[in-house]
Amino acid sequence: MPYSLREIAKVINTELRGDPNCNIVGVATIKNARSGDLTFLSNRRYFSQLRTTEASAVIVSCTDITMCPVNILVADDPYLAYVKAAIYINPEKTFDFGIHKTASLGENVTVSQKSYIGQNVIIGNNSIISDDVYIGAACVVGASVVIGVGTKLFSNVTLCDDVHIGKHTRIHPGVVIGADGFGIANDQGRWLKIPQLGSVRIGNDVEIGANTTIDRGAIEDTVIEDGVQIDNQVQIGHNVRVGAHTAIAGCTAVAGSVNIGKRCMIGGLSALAGHIEITDDVIVNGMSGVTNSIKQAGHYASAMTVMEVKLWRKNNVRFKRLDEFARRLIKLESKIT
């Protein structure tokens, strides 16, 4: 279904320079756009492509308005304006309500008539599925699980017993929520498994990427607050709390009982050691090792970045003596001054 440029400009609150009746059918990159496409310029690197783009309209900032052969939407932040336009043009797919005949429901399960339960879905006893919930193929939902209005489980998602999921939350394939935390205690050389008696509570408007795992709490619950964005293959240990609107990039490992503040951004492949506290508004680069609490909002990093392997070998060896070199430097200084 086409949208008029007038309508889009209004929805995303931008100034329109050009034909308000121009029809937009999709979005595209500035390079590969065709007639009917809306595109955007947010990186000056692609500035020269403005003149040759075949897009029907381009979102640009007021400083980038130039001789452009197509219609223009002027935005303070062209990328954010693009995102809003893309959301408007590509509303989420609707789905039919109903329970597929291959689904297995336990006893005393409450399923809203306004929800979809897909092929081979399994739901345990006493669980509650709210309105507008979508549970895709082959999901396994345990007993006493609660899933809030408008939430989507794509496919192959596993929710263990007692997990609570809020509203309008999206959970991608392969995710496991509520498996036992890694709680072990050493008893004379053997590991005792500590019963994992808590559960997991996920808030509203949360996104959880493919194959991410979020463990149930040991005594109390693991908690993911509203608006949290979690990428793929992230591991969240037991009794972690992730504050509202925090984003965690792929493959990051959050050990048990970590308390992450609100609006943080944690880069991919980072490790947060157990029992630490990260205050609000902390940014951590990818591959960072966080072993102590961070009490000041700010931007942190620790990872070494690549060099040629010959050089790396030497530096890696020297690093093992860094403390010694520092002492020798200090000693030398004391001799000179």
Whole-angstrom CA distances from 119 to 99, 136, 179 are: 8, 7, 23
Q: Taking CB under 8 A as the rule, does residue 259 contact its own copies?
A: no
β-pair partners for 284: 266, 300
Q: Taking CB under 8 A as the rule, does residue 144 contact its own copies?
A: no
Residue with Cβ nearer its own copies (16 or 273): 273
243 in Cβ contact with 207 (< 8 Å): no
**Amino acid identity for residue 26 in this structure:** G
| # of chain residues touching its own copies (CB under 8 A) | 120
Give CA torsion, residues 153, 157, 158, 163, to 10 deg.
Answer: -20
Q: Which stretch binds its own copies (CB under 8 A): 1-9, 65-73, 125-133, 135-143?
A: 135-143
Q: Taking CB under 8 A as the rule, does residue 294 contact its own copies?
A: yes
- Does the annotation mark 172 as catalytic? no
The Cα–Cα gap between 9 and 325 comes to 62
Q: Taking CB under 8 A as the rule, does residue 108 contact its own copies?
A: no
Among 179, 277, 279, 297, binds its own copies (CB under 8 A): 179
Q: Smallest distance from the beta carbon of 317 to its own copies, in angstroms?
A: 8
Whole-angstrom CA distances from 67 to 47, 58, 78, 272, 317 are: 11, 12, 17, 50, 57
Q: Smallest distance from the beta carbon of 145 to its own copies, in angstroms?
A: 13
Among 35, 114, 295, 326, binds its own copies (CB under 8 A): 326
Can you spell out the DSSP letters for 132-186? T-EE-TT-EE-TT-EE-TT-EE-SS-EE-TT-EE-SS-EE-TT-EESPPP--EEE
Residue with Cβ nearer its own copies (114 or 321): 321
Q: Which helix (H) or strand (E) holds 236?
A: strand 235-236
Nearest residue to 98 (alpha-carbon basis) of 126, 129, 125: 129
Pairing of strands 207-208, 170-171: parallel
Residue with Cβ nearer its own copies (68 or 254): 254
Q: Taking CB under 8 A as the rule, does residue 285 contact its own copies?
A: yes
| Touching its own copies, residues 2-41 (CB under 8 A) | 26-29, 32
Q: Taking CB under 8 A as the rule, does residue 220 contact its own copies?
A: yes
Q: Smallest distance from the beta carbon of 272 to its own copies, in angstroms?
A: 9
The Cα–Cα gap between 34 and 245 comes to 36
Structure tokens at 317: 């060896």
Q: Taking CB under 8 A as the rule, does residue 47 contact its own copies?
A: no
- From the candidates 238, 245, 275, 299, which is the catalytic residue? 238
Q: Taking CB under 8 A as the rule, does residue 62 contact its own copies?
A: no
Residue with Cβ nearer its own copies (67 or 317): 317
105 in Cβ contact with 86 (< 8 Å): no
The Cα–Cα gap between 106 and 93 comes to 28
Q: Taking CB under 8 A as the rule, does residue 289 contact its own copies?
A: yes
Q: Smallest distance from the beta carbon of 216 to its own copies, in angstroms?
A: 10
129 in Cβ contact with 147 (< 8 Å): yes
Residue with Cβ nearer its own copies (20 or 188): 188
Q: Taking CB under 8 A as the rule, does residue 316 contact its own copies?
A: yes
Residue with Cβ nearer its own copies (20 or 31): 31
Catalytic residue IDs:
238
